[in-house]
Chains A and B, each alone.
Chain A
Amino acid sequence: MKECLDEATLQGYFDGELSAKAAERAAAHLAACMTCAEAAREVQSEMLLLSTTLQPEFEVNVPTERLRGRLEHAIAELKMDRPDRAHSAAPSPRNWFGWVNKLFAGSRQRAFSYATVAAVVIAAVVLGVMYLRRGQQRPAIEARNNGPVSIPAPKSSPDSAVPVPAPKPVKSSDVVAQAPGKLLPRHSTRGAETAPRLLPGEQGYIKTIAALDATIKSNTRSMRPGLQVEYQHNLAVVDDAIAATRAAAQKNPKDPDAAQFLISAYQSKVDLMTQVADARLFNTSPK
Chain B
Amino acid sequence: MVALTGSAFGLSARALARSDRHTKKVPGPIIERVVAADPSVAVSVCLVSGDIKVHGWDRNEVRARSNDVEAIEFRRQAGARESDPAKEITVLLSDMRPHRLGPCSANADIELDVPRGATVRLQTRDGSIQVVDVTAVTANAQSGDLDFAGIKRSVEAATIGGNISLRDSNGPITLHSVGGSIEARGVRPVAAEDTFEAATVGGDITLEKIGSKKVKVRTVGGSLSLSGALAAGALYEFKTFSGDISFSLPLDSSFRLDATLSQGGELVTEFPLKMIAESKESSSQASRRSGPQTKGDLTIDPDVLIRGSKHGLQRISGVYGTGDALITASSFSGSINLRKK
- Cβ contact within 8 Å between B143 and A227: yes
User: Does B195 reach chain A (CB closer than 8 Å)?
Assistant: no
- Cβ contact within 8 Å between B101 and A286: yes
User: Does B77 reach chain A (CB closer than 8 Å)?
Assistant: yes
- Cβ contact within 8 Å between B2 and A51: no
Nearest chain A CB to B77 CB, angstrom units: 6
Nearest opposing residue in chain A for B126, CB measure: A226
Residue of B10, B103, B143 touching A233 (CB-CB under 8 A): B10
Cα–Cα distance between A24 and B148 once the two chains are bound (Å): 41
Nearest opposing residue in chain A for B161, CB measure: A230
Nearest chain A CB to B138 CB, angstrom units: 6
Residues in B neighbouring A62, C-beta threshold 8 A: 121, 123, 138, 140
Q: A51-B101, A237-B221 are in contact. Are A252 and B313 (CB under 8 A)?
A: yes
Residues in B neighbouring A226, C-beta threshold 8 A: 13-14, 16-20, 126, 142-143, 161
Main secondary structure of the interface of A (DSSP, over half): helix
Q: A62-B123, A226-B19 are in contact. Are A13 and B98 (CB under 8 A)?
A: yes
Nearest chain A CB to B252 CB, angstrom units: 31
Size class of A's contact patch? 35 or more
Q: A117-B12, A237-B202, A241-B241 are in contact. Are A257 and B178 (CB under 8 A)?
A: no
Nearest chain B CB to A286 CB, angstrom units: 3
Nearest chain A CB to B306 CB, angstrom units: 16
- Cβ contact within 8 Å between A238 and B13: no
Query: Could you say which of B17, B46, B178 has the most chain A C-beta atoms within 10 Å of its C-beta?
Result: B178
Residues in A neighbouring B10, C-beta threshold 8 A: 233
- Cβ contact within 8 Å between A224 and B20: yes
What does the 1/0 interface line of B266-281 toward A look like (CB < 8 Å)? 0000000000000000
B1-40 residues with Cβ-Cβ distance < 8 A to A are: 1-2, 4-6, 8-10, 12-20, 22
Query: Could you say which of A229, A264, A265, A276 has the most chain B C-beta atoms within 10 Å of its C-beta?
Result: A229
Nearest opposing residue in chain B for A27, CB measure: B98
User: Does A48 reach chain B (CB closer than 8 Å)?
Assistant: yes
Among the stretches A125-133, A188-196, A200-208, the one at the interface with B is: A125-133
- Cβ contact within 8 Å between A59 and B90: yes
Nearest chain A CB to B305 CB, angstrom units: 18
A214-229 residues with Cβ-Cβ distance < 8 A to B are: 224-229
User: Does A150 reach chain B (CB closer than 8 Å)?
Assistant: no
- Cβ contact within 8 Å between A124 and B8: yes
Cα–Cα distance between A27 and B98 once the two chains are bound (Å): 9
User: Does B190 reach chain A (CB closer than 8 Å)?
Assistant: no
A21-50 residues with Cβ-Cβ distance < 8 A to B are: 23, 27, 44, 47-48, 50
Cα–Cα distance between A241 and B263 once the two chains are bound (Å): 15
Residues in B neighbouring A58, C-beta threshold 8 A: 44, 46, 90, 103-104, 121
- Cβ contact within 8 Å between B311 and A227: no
Q: A47-B101, A244-B332, A261-B313 are in contact. Are A130 and B1 (CB under 8 A)?
A: yes
Query: Could you say which of B22, B102, B264 has the most chain A C-beta atoms within 10 Å of its C-beta?
Result: B102
Residues in B neighbouring A148, C-beta threshold 8 A: none
Residues in A neighbouring B102, C-beta threshold 8 A: 47, 50-51, 54-55, 285-287
User: Does B341 reach chain A (CB closer than 8 Å)?
Assistant: no
What does the 1/0 interface line of B154-187 toward A look like (CB < 8 Å)? 0010101100000000000000101100000000
Residues in A neighbouring B77, C-beta threshold 8 A: 59
User: Does B296 reach chain A (CB closer than 8 Å)?
Assistant: no
Nearest opposing residue in chain B for A276, CB measure: B160
Q: A226-B16, A244-B241 are in contact. Are A276 and B178 (CB under 8 A)?
A: yes
Residues in B neighbouring A229, C-beta threshold 8 A: 9, 12-13, 16
Q: A113-B16, A257-B330 are in contact. Are A233 and B313 (CB under 8 A)?
A: no
Given contacts A124-B5, A226-B17, 13 further A-B contacts (CB under 8 A): A16-B22, A139-B310, A186-B2, A226-B161, A229-B16, A230-B17, A230-B143, A233-B6, A234-B179, A248-B313, A257-B330, A268-B201, A279-B125
In the A-B complex, the 4 residue pairs with the smallest Cβ-Cβ separation, listed nearest first, are A286-B102, A226-B17, A16-B97, A51-B102
28 pairs of residues in contact across A and B, judged by CB atoms under 8 Å: A58-B44, A62-B140, A113-B20, A131-B2, A141-B311, A142-B312, A144-B312, A144-B313, A224-B16, A225-B20, A227-B20, A227-B160, A227-B161, A231-B178, A232-B9, A234-B179, A237-B221, A244-B332, A244-B333, A261-B241, A264-B218, A265-B241, A275-B158, A275-B160, A276-B160, A279-B125, A287-B101, A287-B104
